[in-house]
Structure 1
């Protein structure tokens, strides 16, 4: 039996397009938006048998299209010891000790979100500091940016890291003056050792729980589509189990397969061919309504906080790290991926890394020719040169950025390690907008809080969601509420080739819609903080209801 048409009325409806006025109602029929506009027009389009729901003046928008996330990592992080609000090493140690005491049977202690700000100028993360809290089982702590791992001595042993273990390409096992591993793993060393160890330690049931955690957490905060940025074999197997069980996902996911720099072009090209094969197999078996392997992810550099980002000029300490992907390997790999129809998602935090990213895209155009459906994207763009922004506009490249990464409460170390004018020119969303560069905003969870309203608050104020006593980080960058919401909805939908069906409340679009408990268009902006979805619809069906 076909469900009746439902009219949602007495609302303030943002349709996804910042240039359009708010509407007062919309109708849903058979999982899609039937109409949006004034109540008379919507009733006329819906027929006399439609049921009506009074939203009592609530603010409504398209469901948030999370522009950059790591679903299984987020779901796992929600189970870990939370460290983002720790201000000292002693506080981290105390939380780990308490976690160990609370679960003495646990084979591991895992934590997430520690900040570099907890260390004094002459300190770095060491295994000894963690051994003082938990010496008997492995401890693995993800940095807030997920680009490094802090581990104890038991974890070094469990991961098989010895003094002779070589550094992987693009990473470092930090060692002391005697050549001994200190317990700090940077970039691909964290991926190759810490991530691989955790993957081997988790069961299929664990991963199924992680995925469920992520879906549930996101639906509560208004997310109805996710852009996955670290997809791999374990993720694929987990999604397959969910699709085989339910025939669908709680909401659509667009996945980018994570490529690891190998230092060998033949190996890189084989990996890209395998991703293309997997993409086609998944599409043939499941379609692309719920899971779509959209493209590949290149991590071109590290992060500013750890001084591993690729910069045109040195950091304040004089260091100037090489990129993780050198041009001689990055350009042919990009061309091969582009030729296979795989979208490029290019992690580039430093201004030199974003230069390499644009070189890769320009090489794809030169070799493979112009193509309207290419839609390449650069991720993060924390420190970016004006000439790169101009190139992005000319090449039609999307800027994928995360307001939560410039919450003023976590910028002290970021600014200090840059140490010059670059400390005040980061995260220039307004420059991208002025240049006509498409903007897709997300959270990069779990490297930052996943809650969409807090992320929107930072985007429209440049203030801190974590410490309200902090001043804004360059208020001139703030977006209007309409601009911010478009960049959270239609922007990421465009970036993943879903803008024909997602990111808008318009006739024919999938009815992925959120009714909010706060209104960014009226009242104080800080009313967004800690707010959530009152009602989340996915294909017209209730996926989350605060009332329940």
Structure 2
């Protein structure tokens, strides 16, 4: 971690070596006003001593003659982007594992695993992520057979793209003690063949069998993964991440890195409700930071699974699997107790809910557990809110519950959502426009490493409802598209609102932290279908340049 520590310390001290006031002219600047309206400006002035924005406008240079001004050469400047739902350590670890995203068949996935295993003979376990059987030629879950042919001497464990299912070889099943006689755990399922033998795919809570025997990474490995993730995120223009569901050891490590001035971006951390010592954290109270580099005041709770693996909890049967309605991964009474403890401690309750049954269940509990005033102050969130009964969508506004949604999930899921749900239930699916029209701020994000961390992919999906091949023509459920202004707000000001930071982050307004990014192209001046191709030239955090593209 030495490089991150050295980098961050240097950046924090760099203001003493620079002019106190730095300004840009001839830029295409965008920010937000206090009412959420888009503000455009041609000049921006920052203070390197305080790390904050001093002024923005079209003719402010004359008012600050002692500042050092530079020509922005017509480049675009946006507020630093905020990913409202990601997994930093998971991203870093994913960057060092087998990448299975984009495979077109089980055979192709296995070939990647075999190649990785051959290149890394020192690794005791072969780990990977990103497979999606919906995109494969046979559209079926994989099995141990091909994996065993490729790697039989070491355990293999491969997470599905949504993280709610895993694929193991026989060696991994053996180490985990999974046999024909192993029972499905509550909230989980072991897929089996006609003879009842495990096929190698474990859904939701059944993954815990493998988790129990996976070697824990040591601190050096964790720090290496974090460093890789931080570098990746800054290169994408992400200056703040809402880290969704961290364990106690990672929370303590973040605290240590913050004390060492070794956090190069902002982290809004959600404690996992699965932490055995959660109550101790709640009793300790909110962990704040005057520099807004680390804030711990939220708990990530877990309602159901994911749609792709048919784990999302639905009110009616899956259209493509009769008599199956998904899984609740937390027993309802336990979820109630966790939500109650979180709310009573003054923490924000952010509940994973994808299916319409899970969303309704969580909304019911918010209504039962807190007064309207408590709900308004708590800014509690529904993480994903993908499939919501149309009659429940207004309840988000009435109960002050924020939809925390990841736009790329829609374009990733559109090839199977209709099969899973049928036409009628799609009216409440990925319903961004409906939420925005009722004035529910959307906390935008990507859910990396489930999806790629690139926020411009999310902006593109929000505006077009298309994949990067411009399909389907006209967009999928196009009535739910957002404008570019609305989409950008979800990744900046509204995401900051979802972290109680909207008065300090996300708008690039005077008095706020000078977190911003520089782009070669103006996103408001290019065709929407090109948004996903935008690249960040520079990333600035609190008036310090933390990334520069060579």
Tell whether the structures are fold-level matches, with TM greater than 0.5. Answer: yes
Q: Does the 8 A contact of 2:159 with 2:165 survive in 1?
A: yes
Q: Does the 8 A contact of 1:331 with 1:363 survive in 2?
A: no
How far apart, CA to CA, are the structure 2 residues paired with 1:278 and 1:148? 34
> 1:349, CA displacement in angstroms?
0.5
1:23 is the counterpart of 2:57: no
Residue 43 to residue 541, structure 1, CA distance change in 2 (3 Å): farther
Q: For residue 264 of structure 1, what is the aligned residue in structure 2?
A: none
SS of corresponding position for 1:111: strand
SS of corresponding position for 2:506: coil
Question: Residues 88-167 of structure 1: matches in 2 within 5 Å?
Answer: 88-118=105-135, 123-167=140-184
How far apart, CA to CA, are the structure 2 residues paired with 1:358 and 1:115? 30
Structure 1 residues not aligned, in runs of 5+:
261-267
Residue 524 to residue 120, structure 1, CA distance change in 2 (3 Å): closer
SS of corresponding position for 1:344: strand
Residue 247 to residue 450, structure 1, CA distance change in 2 (3 Å): same
SS of corresponding position for 2:150: coil
Q: Does the 8 A contact of 1:204 with 1:238 survive in 2?
A: no
> 1:52, CA displacement in angstroms?
1.1
The superposition leaves residues 54-75 of structure 1 with CA deviations (integer Å, 9 ceiling, x where unpaired) of 2111111110111100000011
Residue 528 to residue 517, structure 1, CA distance change in 2 (3 Å): farther
Residue number among 492, 508, 533 corresponding to 1:530 in the alignment: 533
Residue number among 308, 311, 320 corresponding to 2:311 in the alignment: 308
The superposition leaves residues 204-241 of structure 1 with CA deviations (integer Å, 9 ceiling, x where unpaired) of 11110111111111111110000011210232243244
How far apart, CA to CA, are the structure 2 residues paired with 1:193 and 1:25? 57
> 1:125, CA displacement in angstroms?
2.5
Residue number among 242, 258, 262 corresponding to 2:257 in the alignment: 242
1:34 is the counterpart of 2:54: yes
Residue number among 181, 186, 192 corresponding to 2:198 in the alignment: 181
Residue number among 76, 81, 98 corresponding to 1:81 in the alignment: 98
How far apart, CA to CA, are the structure 1 residues paired with 2:516 and 2:139? 50
How far apart, CA to CA, are the structure 1 residues paired with 2:537 and 2:210? 38
Question: Residues 218-297 of structure 1: matches in 2 within 5 Å?
Answer: 218-244=233-259, 246-260=260-274, 271-277=277-283, 279-280=285-286, 283=288, 289-297=292-300
Q: For residue 446 of structure 1, what is the aligned residue in structure 2?
A: 449
Q: For residue 397 of structure 1, what is the aligned residue in structure 2?
A: 401
| RMSD of Structure 2 on Structure 1 (CA) | 2.3
The superposition leaves residues 426-452 of structure 1 with CA deviations (integer Å, 9 ceiling, x where unpaired) of 211000011111111100000011101
How far apart, CA to CA, are the structure 2 residues paired with 1:335 and 1:223? 32
> 1:170, CA displacement in angstroms?
1.7
Q: For residue 337 of structure 2, what is the aligned residue in structure 1?
A: 332
The superposition leaves residues 286-314 of structure 1 with CA deviations (integer Å, 9 ceiling, x where unpaired) of 76732211211111011111111111111
How far apart, CA to CA, are the structure 1 residues paired with 2:531 and 2:140? 37
Residue 333 to residue 224, structure 1, CA distance change in 2 (3 Å): same
Residue 210 to residue 279, structure 1, CA distance change in 2 (3 Å): farther
TM-score, normalization by structure 1: 0.90
The superposition leaves residues 159-211 of structure 1 with CA deviations (integer Å, 9 ceiling, x where unpaired) of 34344544333222333444433211111222x2344544x342211110111
Residue 79 to residue 48, structure 1, CA distance change in 2 (3 Å): same
Deviates more, 1:62-71 or 1:135-144: 135-144
Residue 456 to residue 273, structure 1, CA distance change in 2 (3 Å): same
SS of corresponding position for 2:41: coil
SS of corresponding position for 1:521: helix
Residue 102 to residue 326, structure 1, CA distance change in 2 (3 Å): closer
The superposition leaves residues 459-486 of structure 1 with CA deviations (integer Å, 9 ceiling, x where unpaired) of 1111102x34543212222211111101
TM-score, normalization by structure 2: 0.90
How far apart, CA to CA, are the structure 2 residues paired with 1:73 and 1:36? 37
SS of corresponding position for 1:419: helix
Residue 504 to residue 196, structure 1, CA distance change in 2 (3 Å): farther
The superposition leaves residues 493-529 of structure 1 with CA deviations (integer Å, 9 ceiling, x where unpaired) of 0001011111111111011111123322002223323
Q: For residue 364 of structure 2, what is the aligned residue in structure 1?
A: 359
Q: For residue 69 of structure 1, what is the aligned residue in structure 2?
A: 86
SS of corresponding position for 1:450: coil
How far apart, CA to CA, are the structure 1 residues paired with 2:188 and 2:31? 44
The superposition leaves residues 336-372 of structure 1 with CA deviations (integer Å, 9 ceiling, x where unpaired) of 2101011010111111111011112112224x96354
Structure 2 residues not aligned, in runs of 5+:
1-15
How far apart, CA to CA, are the structure 1 residues paired with 2:277 and 2:342? 10
